[in-house]
Structure 1
Amino acid sequence: MRFGYCEACLEHDTGPRHPESPDRLRAIRQALAEKHGVEYVVADPIDIDRVFAVHQREYVEELEQFCQDGGGDWDADTVASEDTWEAALRSAGIAEWAATTALAGAAGRETPFALGRPPGHHAVEDDAMGFCFFNNAPVAARSVIDRGMADRVAIFDWDVHHGNGIQDICYDKEDIFYASIHEDGLYPATGTVDETGAGEAEGTTMNIPFPPGTTQSGYLAALRDVIGPAFEAFEPDLLLVSAGFDAHEHDPISRMRVSTEGYGLLAQQMRELSEDIGAALGFVLEGGYGLDTLSSSVSMVHEVFDGYEPAPDDGNVSDTATDVLDRVRAQGFDGVSE
């Protein structure tokens, strides 16, 4: 894979005990150093007008001033420093690089993966929250759409938390389909099955709130049987994966049971889906807070695109996960049969 990266993202200082720390990127880089075929690209910071296309100008200017004044606690979870402004611009720029690179034809071993921080999927139009300041994936999606590089973009969020910010930003947008698998009831306690989009964008938001303890068998079934057919019917030019790795069975802040090999299977399935529907594919880093599990899972995704075949999943989809998928099917998404 080709990894977008910038040292400025390490300068976003969240303090000594914050789970979203620079050590996340350092751990990933260290793990990837042992792998074949890793290439790093330093992406430019996002043009501020691209941010304004997604976030309210007043909020963006307030954040810039907050950082210039030295930062501090934006809220109980979200911490900024003086260098957070540049890191946020760089993180969004790396996501934009992943989208444009994928649409330019990068695939297979050249598939782009944006390694930026701060992450993005909780940031709403007019506020930061949940460790996030700019919502990187929809900023990238809106950028390529507005520049005529794509007509439609589909975002698949496999982070254990619901990406409330992506949903809020895209909820009434006909040209972006947002699908999320997340742990039911976990922060920020949003993302119910019946939240499916608004107005002309009805049917372009899909939430799969799985119960705690769901394994990769449920995730793979959701992608194969529900998300995949809906994406195919949507006919996107680009698939973006909001790739959080905190649904890992050993992540310290969730109760889901996806294994490292399971992330390889999800990556493999996304690669096959992109090929089947003729869409470009890129990845954007979100959460993941156990350094070993985060780094090994990102390495696994890379290895899949470098030719590794993950072991087939031999688990069963739980009855509780099946019930959730049945409720999603009942919403009547295009391409998804009950």
Structure 2
Amino acid sequence: MRFGYREICLEHDTGARHPESPDRLRAIRETLSECDNVEYVAPDSATESDVSTVHDADYVSDVHEFCEEGGGNWDADTVAVEATWDAVMASAGLAQWAAKAALDSTSGNEVPFALGRPPGHHAVEDDAMGFCFINNAAVAAQHVIDRDLADRVAILDWDVHHGNGTQDMFYDREDVFYVSFHEEGLYPGTGGIGETGEGDAELTTLNAPFPAGCGDAEYMAALEEVVGPSLEAFDPDLLLVSAGFDAHEHDPISRMVVTTDGYGLMTDFLWELTEQIDAGLGFVLEGGYGLETLSDGVKMVHEVFDGHEPPTREWSVNDNGRSVIANLKEQGFPSIDSDDD
């Protein structure tokens, strides 16, 4: 894979006890040093004009000023220092690069992964929250649409938290399909199954709020039975994965049980799907707060594109997961039946 990375992202200092720390990127880099066929690139930062395509321009100016004045606590969870502004703009630029590079990639070794921080999927049009200031994936999607590089973009968010910001920005848009797998009831409390889009954009938002205890079997069943058919029908030019790794069974802040191999299975599924529908595929880092599970997850994604085949096994979807998938089908999304329906 090609990894977008900028050292300035380490300068976003959230404090000694904050889970979204620079050590996240350091751990990923250290683990990737064990791998073959890893390439790093350092794309340009985004501009204020770029991020203002999805964010309110006054809000963007407020963030810039807040950082210039030394930062502090924007809210209880979302922290900035002076260098945060440059990290924010670098992270958005990394996501823009990933979107454009994905459209140009011709092999697994060219698939891009933007390793930026702070993450972005909670940032709404006019506010920061949940560790996020600028919505990197949203900036990237809008970037390629505005430049006529893509007519339709899909964003699949497998972070354990619902990407409320990404959903809000595209909720009434027919040209962006947003999918979220997340833990039911976890921060920020949004992302119900009935939130499916607005007006002509109905059924371009797909939320799978899985109860605690769901994992590989439930995620793969949702991909195979509902998400895959829905994305195939939407026919995007680009699929961006908002790749958080905090649904891992050993992540300290969630109760989901996705395994490292599970992330590999999802990656393999999405790679095969995008090849079938002739869409680009790129990844943008979101959450993940166990350093080992985070770095192992990123490594697994890379290894899939480097030829590794994650092991499959016999499993059964638990009743809670089956209920979520059944409810998604009832919403009217394109789907296929499972063997146990």
Normalised by the length of structure 2, the TM-score is 0.98
Q: Partner amino acid for 1:278?
A: D
> Shift in Å at residue 173 of structure 1?
1.0
Q: Partner amino acid for 2:335?
A: V
Q: Partners in 1 of 2:246 and 2:294 — Cα distance?
A: 8
Q: Which moved more, 1:26-35 or 1:103-112?
A: 103-112
2:335 corresponds in structure 1 to 336
Aligned ranges 1:71-82 → 2 under 5 Å: 71-82=71-82
2:119 corresponds in structure 1 to 119
State the SS of the aligned residue for 2:331.
coil
Q: Partners in 1 of 2:173 and 2:313 — Cα distance?
A: 35
Q: Partners in 2 of 1:45 and 1:267 — Cα distance?
A: 27
1:161 corresponds in structure 2 to 161
User: Do the aligned residues in 2 keep the contact of 1:107 with 1:280 (CA within 8 Å)?
Assistant: no
1:283 corresponds in structure 2 to 283
1:221-265 deviations in whole A, cap 9, x for unaligned?
Answer: 111111111111001000000000000000000000001111111
2:102 corresponds in structure 1 to 102
State the SS of the aligned residue for 1:179.
strand
Aligned ranges 1:129-144 → 2 under 5 Å: 129-144=129-144
1:82-123 deviations in whole A, cap 9, x for unaligned?
Answer: 001000000000000000001123431110000000000000
Aligned ranges 1:44-59 → 2 under 5 Å: 44-59=44-59
Aligned ranges 1:83-232 → 2 under 5 Å: 83-232=83-232
User: Do the aligned residues in 2 keep the contact of 1:106 with 1:112 (CA within 8 Å)?
Assistant: no
Q: Partners in 1 of 2:120 and 2:107 — Cα distance?
A: 24
What stretches of structure 1 of length at least 5 have no aligned partner? none
1:15-49 deviations in whole A, cap 9, x for unaligned?
Answer: 01000000000000000001000000001001221
State the SS of the aligned residue for 1:173.
coil
User: Do the aligned residues in 1 keep the contact of 2:48 with 2:60 (CA within 8 Å)?
Assistant: no
> Shift in Å at residue 313 of structure 1?
3.3
Q: Partners in 2 of 1:301 and 1:42 — Cα distance?
A: 20
> Shift in Å at residue 215 of structure 1?
1.4
Q: Partners in 2 of 1:187 and 1:216 — Cα distance?
A: 21
Seq. identity, %? 64
1:254 corresponds in structure 2 to 254
What stretches of structure 2 of length at least 5 have no aligned partner? none
Q: Partners in 2 of 1:214 and 1:202 — Cα distance?
A: 27
User: Do the aligned residues in 2 keep the contact of 1:9 with 1:117 (CA within 8 Å)?
Assistant: yes
Q: Partners in 2 of 1:230 and 1:131 — Cα distance?
A: 30
Normalised by the length of structure 1, the TM-score is 0.98
Q: Partners in 1 of 2:76 and 2:259 — Cα distance?
A: 30
Q: Partners in 1 of 2:253 and 2:127 — Cα distance?
A: 23
1:69-88 deviations in whole A, cap 9, x for unaligned?
Answer: 00000000000110010000
Report runs of 4+ in structure 1 exceeding 2 Å deviation: 335-338
Q: Count how many residue pairs are aligned between Structure 1 and Structure 2.
A: 337
Q: Partners in 1 of 2:165 and 2:219 — Cα distance?
A: 21
Q: Partners in 2 of 1:262 and 1:143 — Cα distance?
A: 30
Q: Partner amino acid for 1:108?
A: G
State the SS of the aligned residue for 2:282.
strand
> Shift in Å at residue 337 of structure 1?
4.8
User: Do the aligned residues in 2 keep the contact of 1:262 with 1:313 (CA within 8 Å)?
Assistant: no
Q: Partner amino acid for 2:134?
A: F
Q: Partners in 2 of 1:172 and 1:80 — Cα distance?
A: 31
RMSD across aligned C-alpha pairs, in angstroms?
Answer: 0.8
1:52-73 deviations in whole A, cap 9, x for unaligned?
Answer: 1100011100000000000000
Q: Partners in 1 of 2:220 and 2:150 — Cα distance?
A: 27
2:40 corresponds in structure 1 to 40
